[in-house]
Amino acid sequence: MKAIVHVGLKPGVLDPQGRAIARSLNDLGFDEVSAARQGKVIELDLTDKDTEKAKARVTEMCEKLLANTVIESYRIDIES
């Protein structure tokens, strides 16, 4: 089983990397980009066979290590 965790900044939190990405894309001629937000994707291979248990454990991982929940939000996708 695989868990894919998407972590990104919460709305309203300044994102200097996202701003730099948008500006650089504009400089390269991609004028249709008005803003960008940068985040991270973490793929975890799990030994669990129970989807609900796996999601609960990955939620614990996010709360304890993978996401700074003060400024970041996360979404978990479980693939069998």
Per-residue pLDDT reduced to its tens digit, 21-45? 999 999 999 999 999 999 999 999 9
Q: Between 59 and 80, whose confidence is greater?
A: 59
What is the count of structural domains for the chain?
A: 1
CATH number at residue 14: 3.30.1280.10
Per-residue pLDDT reduced to its tens digit, 41-57? 999 999 999 999 999 99
Global pTM? 0.89
Which residue range is the domain that position 71 belongs to? Answer: 2-79
* Residue of 36, 38, 30 whose CA lies nearest to 8: 38
* Residue of 30, 53, 40 whose CA lies nearest to 5: 40
